[in-house]
Amino acid sequence: MDEAAASARRSDPGVPRNYPKGERRRAQIIEAAFTAFGTVGYRNASMVRLAAACGVSRAGLLHHFPTKESLLAAVLEQRERQDDERFFQAGEAARDGLEYFASMIRLVAHNQANPGIVSLFAVLSSEASAPDHPAHPYFVARYQRARRAMRSAVDDLARRQLLRPHVDPAGLPVDLIALIDGLQIQWLLDPHAIDMPERLRARLRDIISVELP
């Protein structure tokens, strides 16, 4: 778990200094788990190694997160909250289709600058396709939510007649989410071969008849 140790050290300055000690420790553990899950996967990550990477005892780790499942939930919840806050302010974007897709491109560009995020979701979402995986319900619900949000945005564009005539709106949410996920796989394997936000923008130009804000 060298990556986790390195990340925990690297990310120390990122954890607010004025947090109470317990909060800082908690944030540090989440950060190390984020890196570990995104590289070796959830199943293969070891709580003992995570504790060592954060410089806490196993008991100290279990004080904050009694199970590996609870740590996984905390990692996923934090990522989703950060994305929502940064890119989809209070669901406003979903009411304006153009704003929604512009935000989506910004989110993909942000992810491309942060390989750890991309790796976490690529590794976990496929690992979690096994029904007995603790994150299975989370990912099923996450994709249902994502398709619903994108459907609202597409409906808004259709109402405003901003979809090009050849476009079938019904399939767009599934197809565009698939495009974004699939680009991540090729990009993780071969970062120089793919520009994810550029590919998404090109695809959206073929769908939406006006330039995105």
Site size toward its own copies (CB under 8 A) is 45
Per-residue interface string for the shown chain with its own copies, residues 66-105, x marking contact by CB under 8 A = ----------------------------------------
Q: Per-residue DSSP letters for the chain?
A: -HHHHHHHHHHGGGS-TTS-HHHHHHHHHHHHHHHHHHHT-TTT--HHHHHHHHT--HHHHHHH-SSHHHHHHHHHHHHHHHHHHHHSGGGHHHHSHHHHHHHHHHHHHHHHT-HHHHHHHHHHHHHTTSTTSTTHHHHHHHHHHHHHHHHHHHHHHHHTT-B-TT--GGGHHHHHHHHHHHHHHHHHH-GGG--HHHHHHHHHHTTBSS---
26 is an interface residue for its own copies by CB under 8 A:
no
Q: Min. distance of Cβ 174 from its own copies in angstroms?
A: 6
- Cβ closest to its own copies, residue 24 vs residue 43: 43
Which one of residues 9, 15, 40, 96 is an interface residue with its own copies (CB under 8 A)? 40
Q: Interface with its own copies by CB under 8 A: which range of 14-22, 57-65, 84-92, 161-169?
A: 161-169
Which one of residues 39, 103, 111, 112 is an interface residue with its own copies (CB under 8 A)? 39
174 is an interface residue for its own copies by CB under 8 A:
yes
156 is an interface residue for its own copies by CB under 8 A:
no
Q: Interface with its own copies by CB under 8 A: which range of 6-14, 28-36, 72-80, 183-191?
A: 183-191
